[in-house]
Amino acid sequence: MLSSQVPEFGPYPFVHSFVKSHFDMQFDDVRAMMRLPLPEIGIQPGRNFAAAATLCNLISGISVVLYTPEDPKGGSGKKFKQLLEEFYPWEPQENREDKAKTIYDLIRNPLSHSLGVLKKGSLPIGIAKNSLTEAQLEEIENSKVRPVWVPLAVAGGPSKYDLSVWGLYWGVFHLVRRLAKDAKQMQKAEERISEGKI
């Protein structure tokens, strides 16, 4: 399933067209990476880092194009974290502020700016995934709750954090669905895109 197929985008033609033209291909890239590795056809790497980086890029893009924060002051980092805090499908026991900060500080920024190298003293983070079948991808995309076999996107241990690319994929996909259901957010995005203010 592609992001433009989320039915709630239907009433917003400019948003829908933008999502179809610019987001679908990137979600489809991540979707393809979720099928890796495929050693039987000679593809050994899992593309864990590439998938995580692309998902973070999508969050960044969504936070600028489709999301309107309550407090418009602040830069792109603040929007990134506010979008996650407000629309990511966190579990009740998760601290959304801490997890959003972790994704931004320990995943998005290092993968974008320093080849994944963290600052001295940062808690290290492992980025993990295995290959998924088409049926598993469809379950992730269509489940309203996180499937029991999909780990939380970010889990912390005493000595490091772990990022599940499966978990982040599920979360970002459903972040898009939640945002699309918010009429106020969609109306503002429709106006912004129709006027070329992106």
176: left (phi over 0), alpha (psi -120 to 50) or beta: alpha
The two three-digit tokens of residue 181, written as one number: 């259901």
Higher pLDDT, 149 or 41: 149
The band of 126, judged by pLDDT with boundaries at 50, 70 and 90, is: confident
C-alpha 74, offset from chain centre: 21
Look at residue 158 and tell me whether its pLDDT is greater than 70.
no
Tell me which of 15-29, 42-56, 131-145 is least confident: 42-56
Q: What is the predicted pLDDT for the residue at 44?
A: 87
Find the helix packing angle between 165-180 and 76-87, rounded to 10°: 80
8-21 confidence digits (pLDDT tens): 999 999 999 999 99
Look at residue 198 and tell me whether its pLDDT is greater than 80.
no
Give the three-class secondary structure for 43: strand
The band of 117, judged by pLDDT with boundaries at 50, 70 and 90, is: low
Q: State phi, psi for 73 to the nearest 5 degrees.
A: -75, 145
CA distance 98 to 94: 8
Q: What is the predicted pLDDT for the residue at 161?
A: 83
Higher pLDDT, 73 or 182: 182
Look at residue 115 and tell me whether its pLDDT is greater than 60.
no
Q: Is the CB of residue 134 less than 8 Å from the CB of residue 76?
A: no
Name the residue ranges covered by the structural domains of the chain: 3-194
Q: State phi, psi for 125 to the nearest 5 degrees.
A: -135, 135
39-94 confidence digits (pLDDT tens): 898 988 888 989 999 999 999 999 999 999 988 787 889 999 999 999 999 999 99
Q: Is the CB of residue 103 less than 8 Å from the CB of residue 56?
A: yes
CA distance 71 to 77: 13
